[in-house]
Amino acid sequence: MTLTDVSVSTLAAPHPLGSLSTAEFTAIRDIVINADGFTDTTRFAYVGLAEPHKREVLAWQAGTGPLPDRKARVMLLDMATGRSTDNIVSLGGGAVGGGVIESTHVLDGSAGQLPILDTEFEAIAGIVNADPRWVAALAERGTTIDEVVVVPLSAGYYDLPEEIGRRIVRVLAFRQDYPTDHPWAHPVDGLCAYVDTAAGTITRLIDAATVAIPAEGGNFNDPAVQGEPLTTLKPIVISQPEGPSFAVDGEWVTWANWKFQVGFDTREGLVLRQLSFTDAGEERPIIYRASINEMLVPYGDPSPVRFWQNYFDTGEYLFGRYTNSLALGCDCVGEIRYFDAVLADELGNPFTIPNGICMHEEDVGTLWKHSDLFTGAHEVRRQRRLVISFFTTVGNYDYGFYWYLSLDGTIECEAKLTGVLFTSAYPGIAAPGATHDAGADYPYASEVAPGLGAPYHQHLFSARLDMTVDGTANAVDEIEAVRLPMGPGNEHGNAFTMKSTRLASEAASGRLADASVARSWHIVNTEKTNRMGRPTGYALLPEANPTLMADPQSSIAKRAEFATKHLFVTQYDPSEKYAAGDFVHQNPGGDGITKYIADDASIDGEDIVLWHTFGPTHFPRVEDWPVMPVDYAKFTLKPYGFFGANPTLNVPASEPVAHCSHGGEPEVHAAHASPAAASAASAAGGSACAGHADHA
């Protein structure tokens, strides 16, 4: 096995969509800190590529337009005053140096705040611990500030007078019994502080009830908790003796018939651009840009210290900055190509997350197969896919996002959810005016350990799919299975058919998945046809999980209209990048999808963007504690009339290989530790997968 790394920072970027380089981040920092209004207390909340308009990029690629200028979007927060600005910095002509701040927008706070900074989070413990009300409330619960860690969380929006125009976080506490104790096992429930991060004060303290702090530990990495190691598992070896089938040129990847660009963003994490499939020598576009643009985690516990728990991990926290450095044999197995991610810290300095993105091939079983009764033909082919992934840790949860490209043109996106549940006391704290029998089950949480609750919640991901199926003239047809009544023409009642409905405009594009009629959405080209004379297209196949469970009149429903439907479709606009809007923290609602569809523009035969909501509704299990086995959520894009026939007929048959036999000795692979080696590593205080650094 060989490993090759490519750093995004090494790209020469004449390409207008190339990731910002280390030199460019440095130039952006210097431009900004030397501008009027920059102070010693100003921090960089976000720095990312300001992508040119799609038509400019396509014109340049076609040789009919100039190379667009390099620009960056920079969000700045003055920690002392709360002054927030959204700026466009022009680097000019692709060359580093001589750039200027092209525009500045000052936020007034009425339509949301900039994302929460790590610097703000780090100051919270000092703020609450200095307040005698907080100290007294902890003492009432039998603990102290020295025994407690605080967890600052995004505040949402509840029209509280003292919070208007101020940067607010809400703070919960967890007891930590010793330095390596996992505090999630010991929630200090019934207590919450509302904190103004700029003023450094508690604006409101909620002391709703005094309840027992759960005592049982949750240290999943403790050998005593893990139990005796499972010793019956034999090594699995993944080997590509001739190397991988993909080729990498900077950020551009070619594999089988696929070509695309790998990018990375502080807010969205992994971004795939300009996915195309070469068919009979023609490079045919499918998706211009694909990303997870928002992730909402709404909780369903209405208690006075938890009703506000609705986290936008992308827009409020910028989950890309918490990307893990991935480790061979632990996170990624096989012939791996890593990409580093280069970002800017809160002082504007570039920093690198090594091995932030992992790419490899996987064998995924049968591609196609038939044994013919009449001709005696027996053919089988193996399916394989290219996997591009990253993992990010946001507080207690860990999220992996995996994009799969298959030989037959299928595109899949899968979210993998693991980590530690966000916990509460059980049975929980009743909301004001509610009655609750302490001996009864609490209706808003599961008991996962003695006295330890895990509130019901959802994980709702928004995939932004900027489509270019055979070009930019696209439309969406909603496809449904239709049952037909018995009668003339269907005398035996066996008939059923398919109904297709064109989505005509943005306002009518909000649609729900419906498994009972196999509802899907076909993205078709309105100007090109296949050999059958029908539009070329791709089908979006959703999972029919619930959308946002909160009441339509709730604050969170107004802030996250995108999550009330599985699908919205909008006409392409380069300023419309995020489903919940640009400034999500403390946003009262009305931004994002709500605003994007307000003009009800046509989406029939236009350059369109699909916004697809997917994800699980989580009623935690006892088996999810103390660390959660991976849960999955996904969607699929499958060619439907895009090709003239099965595009994988030319995939060669696999050759038998030695390790398919059970008769010989297993192949030895250095990257896989034996049970004995793993046991030895454990005894030494580590593991075979230890030693890599996570950026958190």
At residue 456, the 3 state secondary structure works out as coil
- Nearest-CA neighbor of 469 among 530, 405, 388, 389? 530
Half-sphere exposure of 168 (CA within 13 A, CB side): 25
pLDDT band at 9 (very low <50, low <70, confident <90, very high): very low
Residue 152 has pLDDT above 70, yes or no: yes
Q: What are phi and psi of 235, to 5 degrees?
A: -60, 140
At residue 437, the 3 state secondary structure works out as coil
CA distances from 370 to 194, 381, 578, 644 (A): 64, 10, 45, 20
CA distances from 431 to 356, 421, 436, 443 (A): 42, 22, 9, 12
| Tens-place pLDDT, residues 413-432 | 999 999 999 999 999 988 77
> Percent of the chain having pLDDT more than 90?
86
Residue 455 has pLDDT above 90, yes or no: yes
Catalytic residues: 313, 397
Looking at residue 328, what is its pLDDT? 82
**With left for phi above 0 and alpha for psi between -120 and 50, is residue 123 left, alpha or beta?**
alpha
pLDDT band at 489 (very low <50, low <70, confident <90, very high): very high
Looking at residue 657, what is its pLDDT? 64
In this structure, the strands spanning 378-394 and 350-371 are: antiparallel
Q: What is the mean pLDDT of residues 85-104?
A: 81
Which domains can be identified in the chain, with CATH numbers?
247-639 (2.70.98.20)
Looking at residue 437, what is its pLDDT? 63
| Tens-place pLDDT, residues 211-247 | 999 999 999 999 999 999 999 999 988 899 999 999 9
Residue 606 has pLDDT above 90, yes or no: yes
Q: What are phi and psi of 46, to 5 degrees?
A: -160, 135
Looking at residue 393, what is its pLDDT? 97
| Tens-place pLDDT, residues 302-321 | 999 999 999 999 999 999 99
Looking at residue 687, what is its pLDDT? 40
Query: 433: which 2 tokens?
Result: 């005016």
Looking at residue 432, what is its pLDDT? 77
pLDDT band at 473 (very low <50, low <70, confident <90, very high): very high
With residue 289 as reference, give the H or E element that holds it: strand 282-298
| Tens-place pLDDT, residues 326-351 | 988 888 888 999 999 999 999 999 99
Looking at residue 54, what is its pLDDT? 98
Q: What are phi and psi of 630, to 5 degrees?
A: -60, 130
Cα separation, 583 vs 385, in Å, equals 36
Looking at residue 92, what is its pLDDT? 72
Residue 40 has pLDDT above 70, yes or no: yes
- Nearest-CA neighbor of 70 among 86, 87, 55, 49? 49
Looking at residue 431, what is its pLDDT? 79
At residue 565, the 3 state secondary structure works out as coil
Residue 182 has pLDDT above 60, yes or no: yes
Looking at residue 692, what is its pLDDT? 34
Query: 486: which 2 tokens?
Result: 């018995």
Q: What are phi and psi of 151, to 5 degrees?
A: -120, 100
pLDDT band at 684 (very low <50, low <70, confident <90, very high): very low
Residue 4 has pLDDT above 60, yes or no: no
Q: What is the mean pLDDT of residues 138-152?
A: 98
Residue 660 has pLDDT above 50, yes or no: no
Q: What is the mean pLDDT of residues 528-553?
A: 98
The mean pLDDT value of the chain amounts to 91
